[in-house]
C-alpha cells in the first residue's frame, strides 16, 4: 500500500508495517526505527569523505527491510533521507535486490554500486 508519508503519520505507518515476532517492548521498536539515524550518518559520512562503510550500511538495511517489509521500509527510508542521500540508498537496495522498480527516476550512485560489487 503506497501512502503519502508526513512527519505526523510516518510513525503510525511504521507501526502498522512492523513485523518482529521477538519484539517485546516499544523500546525494541524504537531501536529498529532508529536504524534510520544510523543510515543517515553512514551515508552522510560517505558523501562528505568518500569512505563507504558498505557492510554496516547493508546490515542496517537488511534488518530494517526484514522488520518493516521491503516496500514499507523503502517508503520510510526515502521519506526520511534527504534527496542527496537517496542515490546511495537506491544503489544499496538495488544491490540487495530489494528495490522493485529500478527505473523510477531516482538516480543510482554508480561508484557505490561498483564498491558493493567488490564484496
CA 87/CA 75 separation, integer angstroms: 14
Tell me, what's the pLDDT at 102? 65
Residue 106: pLDDT band (50, 70, 90) is confident
Q: Which three cell numbers stand for residue 75?
A: 517508503
Instruction: Convert the pLDDT of each residue in 47-89 to its tens digit.
Output: 999 999 999 999 999 999 999 999 999 999 999 999 999 999 9
Q: How many domains does the chain have?
A: 1
Q: Which residues contact 60 (CB under 8 A, 6 or more apart)?
A: 35, 38, 39, 42
Range of the domain at 106: 25-117
* Three-state secondary-structure class, residue 108: coil
Asked if residue 108 is part of any domain, the answer here is yes
**What is the torsional sign of CA 55, 87, 67, 35?**
positive
Q: With 70 as the cut, is the pLDDT of residue 1 above it? A: no
Mean pLDDT of 88-92: 95
Distance of CA 55 to the CA centre of its chain: 14
The share of the chain scoring above pLDDT 70, in percent, equals 97
Asked if residue 12 is part of any domain, the answer here is no
Asked if residue 14 is part of any domain, the answer here is no
Amino acid at each position: 500500500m503506497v501512502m503519502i508519508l508526513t512527519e505526523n503519520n510516518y510513525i503510525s505507518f511504521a507501526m502498522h508495517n512492523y513485523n518482529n515476532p521477538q519484539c517485546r517492548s516499544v523500546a525494541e521498536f524504537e531501536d529498529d526505527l532508529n536504524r534510520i539515524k544510523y543510515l543517515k550518518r553512514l551515508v552522510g559520512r560517505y558523501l562528505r569523505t568518500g569512505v563507504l562503510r558498505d557492510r554496516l550500511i547493508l546490515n542496517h538495511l537488511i534488518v530494517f527491510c526484514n522488520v518493516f517489509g521491503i516496500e514499507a521500509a523503502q517508503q520510510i527510508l526515502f521519506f526520511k533521507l534527504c534527496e542527496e542521500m537517496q542515490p546511495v540508498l537506491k544503489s544499496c537496495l538495488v544491490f540487495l535486490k530489494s528495490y522493485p522498480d529500478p527505473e523510477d527516476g531516482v538516480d543510482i550512485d554508480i561508484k557505490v554500486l561498483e564498491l558493493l560489487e567488490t564484496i
